[in-house]
Structure 1
Amino acid sequence: MTGSSAEDATERVAFAGLKGRLYSLAFIDEFGPIYAVYTLWFNDNGISTARLSTVFIVWAAIALALEIPSGALADRIDRRRLLGAAFTIRGAGIALWLVWPTFTGVLIGASLWALHDALASGAWEAMIHDELDEVGQARSYATVMARIGQFSHLGIAASTLLGAALLRIDVGLETLGWLTLAAHAGSIALVVTLPEVRWHGAADEGTVRPTTADAPDNPPDRSIGAGPVAETILPDLTADDTFSYRAWWSTLRTGVRDARSDPLIARLVAVGAMLEGLFIVDEYVPLIVRARGGTDATAPIVVFVVWVGLLVGGEIAARRPALSGRLLGGALIGGVAVMAVAFATSSVWTLMLVALGYAALQALWVASDARLQEHTPAATRATVTSVRGFGSATISMLAFVAIGAMSEGDDPTRGQFVVLTALAVAGVLAVRWLPPPAEMES
Structure 2
Amino acid sequence: MALDGLKRRLYLLSFVDKFAPIYALFTLWFNNNGISIADLSLVFILWAVLGLVLELPSGALADIVDRRLLLGAACALRATGIAIWLISPSLPGLIVGAVLWSMHAALVSGTWEALIHDELDAIDEAPRYGVVMARIDQSNNLGFAGSTFFAAAIIGLGASIEAVGWVNVAVHGVSIALVLRLPDVRWVTTGDKEGVPSGWWGALRAGSSAARHNPVLLRLLLIGSAIGGLMVVDEYIPLVARFNGASDATVPLIVFVVWLGLIAGGELAARRPDISSPTLASLVLGGTAIMAVAIAIESPWALMAIGIGYAPVQAAWVIADARFQAAAPSTTRATATSFRSLGVGLISAAAFLIVGLLAKGDDPTAGLHWIIGILALSAFAIPATVPKRAPTTQPSTIKRTSKQ
Larger RCO: 1 or 2 (CA < 8 Å, sep 6+): 2
The match for 1:394 is 346
Amino acid at match of 2:127: R
Q: Residues 88 and 346 of structure 1: is their aligned pair in 2 closer, same or farther, counting only changes over 3 Å?
A: same
The normalised TM-score by structure 1 is 0.87
Q: 1:104 aligns with which of 92, 99, 102?
A: 92
The match for 1:78 is 66
Amino acid at match of 2:133: M
2:32 pairs with 1:44: yes
2:320 pairs with 1:368: yes
Question: How do residues 2-41 of structure 1 correspond to structure 2 at under 5 angstroms?
Answer: 14-41=2-29
Partner Cα distance (2:203, 2:18) in 1:
31
CA drift of 1:426 comes to 2.1
The match for 1:294 is 246
Partner Cα distance (1:167, 1:149) in 2:
27
Q: Residues 439 and 380 of structure 1: is their aligned pair in 2 closer, same or farther, counting only changes over 3 Å?
A: closer
Amino acid at match of 1:376: A
The match for 2:209 is 257
CA drift of 1:105 comes to 0.5
1:200 counterpart SS class: strand
Show structure 1 runs of 5+ residues with no match. Answer: 1-12, 202-231, 237-241
2:57 pairs with 1:69: yes
1:277, 1:391 within 8 Å by CA — same for their partners in 2?
Answer: yes
2:319 pairs with 1:319: no
CA drift of 1:349 comes to 1.2
1:379 counterpart SS class: helix
CA drift of 1:163 comes to 0.5
Q: Residues 167 and 255 of structure 1: is their aligned pair in 2 closer, same or farther, counting only changes over 3 Å?
A: same
Amino acid at match of 1:31: F
Partner Cα distance (2:170, 2:101) in 1:
16
1:307, 1:355 within 8 Å by CA — same for their partners in 2?
Answer: yes
Amino acid at match of 2:117: H
The match for 1:93 is 81
2:45 counterpart SS class: helix
CA drift of 1:142 comes to 0.6
CA drift of 1:200 comes to 3.4
Partner Cα distance (1:28, 1:85) in 2:
16
Q: 1:54 aligns with which of 18, 42, 45?
A: 42
Partner Cα distance (1:200, 1:65) in 2:
26
Amino acid at match of 1:373: Q
Amino acid at match of 2:298: S
2:15 counterpart SS class: helix
Partner Cα distance (1:438, 1:346) in 2:
42
The match for 2:387 is 435
Q: Mark the structure with the bigger radius of gyration.
A: 1
Show structure 2 runs of 5+ residues with no match. Answer: 394-404
Partner Cα distance (1:293, 1:198) in 2:
52
2:184 counterpart SS class: coil
The match for 1:149 is 137
2:331 pairs with 1:343: no
Amino acid at match of 1:83: L
CA displacement 1:100-135 (0-9 Å, x = unmatched): 111000101000000000000000000000000111
Partner Cα distance (2:73, 2:66) in 1:
11
CA drift of 1:329 comes to 1.6
Partner Cα distance (1:336, 1:123) in 2:
30
CA drift of 1:246 comes to 1.3
The match for 2:401 is none
2:233 pairs with 1:245: no
Q: 2:228 aligns with which of 268, 272, 276?
A: 276
Q: Which moved further from structure 2: 98-107 or 253-262?
A: 253-262
**Aligned pairs, number:** 393
Amino acid at match of 1:430: I
Amino acid at match of 1:61: V
Partner Cα distance (1:161, 1:376) in 2:
37
2:35 counterpart SS class: coil
Q: 2:311 aligns with which of 347, 353, 359?
A: 359
Partner Cα distance (1:388, 1:438) in 2:
17
CA drift of 1:440 comes to 9.6
Partner Cα distance (1:111, 1:331) in 2:
36
Pairwise CA RMSD = 1.4
2:327, 2:391 within 8 Å by CA — same for their partners in 1?
Answer: no
1:92, 1:112 within 8 Å by CA — same for their partners in 2?
Answer: yes
2:188 counterpart SS class: strand
1:76, 1:243 within 8 Å by CA — same for their partners in 2?
Answer: no
Partner Cα distance (1:48, 1:170) in 2:
25
Amino acid at match of 2:275: L
CA displacement 1:238-267 (0-9 Å, x = unmatched): xxxx85211111110110121122211111
Amino acid at match of 1:130: D
CA displacement 1:343-374 (0-9 Å, x = unmatched): 11111111111111110111101000000001
2:322, 2:390 within 8 Å by CA — same for their partners in 1?
Answer: no
Question: How do residues 214-229 of structure 1 correspond to structure 2 at under 5 angstroms?
Answer: none
Partner Cα distance (1:329, 1:36) in 2:
29
CA drift of 1:438 comes to 3.1
Q: 1:171 aligns with which of 159, 162, 173?
A: 159
Partner Cα distance (2:10, 2:54) in 1:
26
1:198 counterpart SS class: strand
Partner Cα distance (2:315, 2:302) in 1:
22
CA displacement 1:12-31 (0-9 Å, x = unmatched): x6111100100000010011
Amino acid at match of 1:42: F
1:438 counterpart SS class: coil
Amino acid at match of 1:68: L
The match for 1:225 is none
2:112 pairs with 1:124: yes
1:77, 1:243 within 8 Å by CA — same for their partners in 2?
Answer: no
Partner Cα distance (1:247, 1:149) in 2:
31
Amino acid at match of 2:271: R
Partner Cα distance (1:308, 1:235) in 2:
48
Partner Cα distance (1:168, 1:244) in 2:
51
The match for 1:328 is 280
2:176 pairs with 1:188: yes
2:274 counterpart SS class: coil
Partner Cα distance (1:270, 1:354) in 2:
24
